[in-house]
Structure 1
């Protein structure tokens, strides 16, 4: 999990130390085998990527490398019209089944009405993400483990996609993007002046990268990320610019607005850094 190639770089050491200390409180991986063990490692990698975003991403627009995707200049989104999750008339396609690890809950544990609401939202998200992600990236499917988790599959490779909209955690704060070897950060202004931060960084062995974009919308923290495929040692097939373009698309922001007004996730608990 650690990239040993850059131990001589003091900044890398600081960043990795922050990620290690943040992920230290995660429960130890159970004694699993095969796919279950690989899934546990991928889940811990996703946590490290989210923690790293708080350490590495730019705090404000105007720093070097910032770009504007729209002409918006407002400090917050305009009050949106009422949004709803559109029920699906026909049966939903079967999701990718992910077996919960011991003690982990899945969507199967939800009350029937809530599970149906989340599944309908997932299916709408699948259509939007399939349309907006780069052409040829692969097939986007929902999973049955969590409303925020999806899977992108192409040529036998499987990339975990996370689309999360959860109530804002005021205790979390962004810090200036560090100039760390192998890490690429970028910011952009989305419609209504919403500031987004994107990051591509080494994950797993350090030889592959994952890509992540995040922003604040209404009362929610929003993130969209794509992990590498650990089995084939393949980096996530998207760039910062491509995920920022997805985040700026009206269809994607409509999904965000729905999830902001009708939350499906609980507030993120901050992970202590010390």
Structure 2
């Protein structure tokens, strides 16, 4: 009994031969000529047969090669089906870091479902923007399920709390003052907005933050130290100012100012 390969070769040869016969049969019959004319006619017929044979052979070979890559039974019987993989699904947003609220403190779990979904959607957008704009030294940015303005960055086993707040307020944020070891920097954002950045000592480590006024809201982006690891916030004031200038970051601020996610900040008389 012949092998599958012998059967494929025989089918290919038959296909080539039938195609050449059909093609040359359509050529006009040669007149009863002699000498050079008869010779040229024979050559023309031969060239057509060779050209068609080469084309058919190439197609047949491609078909055989394709079939050999498709699944089938060992005897090569039955229909051959091509299996096309479904496109990969979009990457799901990372799960939030769970932070247990302190006694009496509320969390995002206490929100109505629609409002919780709105805040989580904003957090997912913020994570993407912050991850793309903050320097690699910050590590991986994640949202938390405690507050809409609370995130966390992790790098080399260290965890740095991160606050991104766009909070309605009737009062402008206080400008940075270089007191008690605080170091300040400032820059002008698009639209003429003045932003202040600083490093703030906390014991032997430092926090870094940037703040500015946008519309009716006070905006703050702060990265805190990992005090347990005695590691300062791995970002400089200049780097946070670059984040604040970025159009993608300001788009987030604009969206949060138009539809606030945090309660209005109110000052306490005598506080």
TM-score, length-normalised on structure 1? 0.63
Match of 1:187 in 2: 186
Unpaired segments ≥5 residues, structure 1: 1-88
Q: Distance in 2 between matches of 1:182 and 1:273?
A: 27
Deviation at 1:219, TM superposition (A): 1.4
Deviation at 1:173, TM superposition (A): 5.3
Change (3 A) 1:178 1:90: closer
Match of 1:127 in 2: 128
Unpaired segments ≥5 residues, structure 2: 1-89
Is 1:262 aligned to 2:259, yes or no? yes
Contact 2:173 2:213 in 1 (8 A): no
- Name the larger-Rg structure: 2
Q: Distance in 1 between matches of 2:215 and 2:182?
A: 29
Give deviations 1:26-51, integer Å, cap 9, x for gaps.
xxxxxxxxxxxxxxxxxxxxxxxxxx
Match of 2:221 in 1: 224
Match of 1:143 in 2: 144
Deviation at 1:267, TM superposition (A): 1.2
Deviation at 1:181, TM superposition (A): 5.0
Match of 1:243 in 2: 240
Contact 2:173 2:211 in 1 (8 A): no
Match of 2:174 in 1: 174
Match of 2:39 in 1: none
Deviation at 1:119, TM superposition (A): 0.4
Match of 1:83 in 2: none
Secondary structure of 1:265 counterpart:
coil
Contact 1:168 1:216 in 2 (8 A): no
Map 1:1-274; keep pairs closer than 5 Å.
91-170=92-171, 174=174, 177-203=176-202, 206-270=203-267
Contact 1:99 1:145 in 2 (8 A): yes
Change (3 A) 1:210 1:221: same
TM-score, length-normalised on structure 2? 0.64
Q: Distance in 2 between matches of 1:212 and 1:273?
A: 26
Secondary structure of 1:192 counterpart:
coil
CA RMSD of aligned residues (A): 1.7
Change (3 A) 1:126 1:258: same
Contact 2:170 2:216 in 1 (8 A): no
Q: Distance in 1 between matches of 2:121 and 2:111?
A: 14
